[in-house]
Amino acid sequence: MGEVNDVMNREAGKELEAIRNEIEVLGRRAKEASRTAAKLKAEEKARGLLSVASELRSQAEYLLAENEKDLRLAEEKGVKASLVDRLRLTGERIDGMAVGLEQIAALDDIVGEVLEMKKRPNGLRIGKMRVPMGVVGIIYESRPNVTADAFGLCFKTGNAAILRGGSDAIHSNLAIVHVIKEGLRKERLPQDSILLVENTDRESVNAMMGLRGLIDVLIPRGGAGLIENVVRNSVVPVIETGTGNCHVYVDEGADYYMAADIVENAKTQRMGVCNACESLVIHEKAALEVLPMIASSLLRHDVEIRGDERARAICKEILPATEEDWGKEYLDAIISVKTVDSIDEAIAHVNRYNTGHSECIVTRDYANALKFQDEVDAAAVYVNASTRFTDGFEFGFGAEIGISTQKLHARGPMGLEALTTTKYIIFGDGQIRA
């Protein structure tokens, strides 16, 4: 028995070593490609992005057929509907990916931009210039549109990208990367600007986290478990994207019809995404009139509502909430309801349970609107608008690499600037230090 275990352990060790070697090869290819990508002219990058956008549209049937393989496997596994929706490609969503690349192509090229230039007393001119990160590694789950979005933003900023999608979207991701490379090939641009980790073993994630010196920054996109694993264990610098326990607070004296529309949109327009509303907070003086309106609209979408005692006293359809519900990112047809006595209590509740993503107040009180925006700690804080707008496409970035909930370097939807760093450029005429 001991000999059998020894053999199995040796085989497992060989498999792990093979995965690590495979990822290191990708890292070296990406590092080489990043040096070429950093030198591309603005017109070359725009031409490549437009070529890929055209290729996505022309190969839509192929992409849908490959995506269908992933959808069938997900349904066979009993994956919940909201998560299957994240995985699904449609003709409209493929066109949306293409439009995103076209928008990125039309944006100003910020690489090489000189942000400031100052003259020192000794005559040195010291400036700061925007430059690419180098190699951007992205680890993500489910949503295959991330593959195109990540490529577009990385390519525009002169970076190479190593992408590791989830096993549930492997057929879709392989197809999208194939199409992207074909678009680049037609314009004679470096195809290794995008590389996909085809091995879906979890060890491939660990291997990426160890590629310090080959990968310059890692961006995890997905559930709390994935993000925590990368943040805790990566030796490569990480930009942390966050889960989304997003709140809508309905203030005393809010426009109740507006509130009902905003909550319905924020919760039900797409339920399996990080900017969907998971928690409703409502002023007790508004609850009696507006909560039945909101509950009615949510129940039409088969949303399960879990609330505190005051909310349940108003609407018999509301189920009892537990402490766990206040901090839960459901990614499903469930929402929590908390009743409060003041805006201060609302802000305290939001700040205690939110994940730093997106928060909203519905109010007609200008002072309360400003107070909420000033005091709520989140990457995006809305007044009278759905949290579903926290998105790079909606913010005019063309796409996004993720939504950062950390406070260093980048926060909120991450567009072109988040994928660049800076270097100092110094001009002299012979100065030497005394």
Q: Which two tokens stand for residue 124?
A: 């040195």
Question: In whole numbers, what is the pLDDT of the chain averaged over residues?
Answer: 92
Is 81 contained in some domain?
A: yes
Domain co-membership, 54 together with 112:
yes
Task: Identify the residue with better confidence: 222 or 45.
Answer: 45
Question: Residue 225 above 90 pLDDT?
Answer: no
Is 74 contained in some domain?
A: yes
Model confidence at 86, pLDDT cuts 50, 70, 90, reads: confident
Residue 380 lies in domain: 246-389
Helix (H) / strand (E) containing 404? strand 403-404
Domain co-membership, 219 together with 365:
no
Q: Cα 46–146–331 angle (5° rounding)?
A: 150
Question: Residue 49 above 90 pLDDT?
Answer: yes
pLDDT of residue 1: 60
Is 271 contained in some domain?
A: yes
Mean pLDDT of 235-244: 86
**Spatial CB neighbours of 233, under 8 Å, sequence gap ≥ 6:** 206, 209
Domain co-membership, 43 together with 158:
yes
Give the integer Cα–Cα distance in Å for 6 and 9.
Answer: 5
pLDDT of residue 14: 79
Task: Identify the residue with better confidence: 393 or 423.
Answer: 423
Q: What is the pTM for the complete model shown?
A: 0.80
Assign residue 325 the CATH number of its domain: 3.40.309.10
Nearest to 252 by CA among 337, 347, 362: 362
Domain co-membership, 27 together with 155:
yes
User: Which parts of 114-270 fold into alpha helices (H)?
Assistant: 145-156, 170-186, 202-209, 224-233, 256-268
What pLDDT digit, counting tens, does each position of 8-25 carry? 556 667 788 889 999 999
What pLDDT digit, counting tens, does each position of 117-148 carry? 999 999 999 999 999 999 999 999 878 999 99
Mean pLDDT of 208-215: 95
Domain co-membership, 104 together with 195:
yes
Please say whether the beta carbons of 52 and 180 come within 8 A. Answer: yes
Mean pLDDT of 194-212: 93
First to last CA, the chain: 74
Is residue 307 helix, strand or coil? Answer: strand
Please say whether the beta carbons of 235 and 208 come within 8 A. Answer: no
Domain co-membership, 199 together with 289:
no
Domain co-membership, 318 together with 349:
yes
Tally of structural domains, the chain: 2
Domain co-membership, 150 together with 95:
yes
Domain co-membership, 342 together with 212:
no
Is 38 contained in some domain?
A: yes
Give the integer Cα–Cα distance in Å for 54 and 104.
Answer: 14
Is 334 contained in some domain?
A: yes
Is 210 contained in some domain?
A: yes
In this structure, the strands spanning 194-196 and 160-164 are: parallel
Is 168 contained in some domain?
A: yes
Model confidence at 428, pLDDT cuts 50, 70, 90, reads: very high
Model confidence at 414, pLDDT cuts 50, 70, 90, reads: confident
Nearest to 196 by CA among 236, 161, 172, 167: 161
The DSSP-derived string for 113-129 is -EEEEEE-TTS-EEEEE
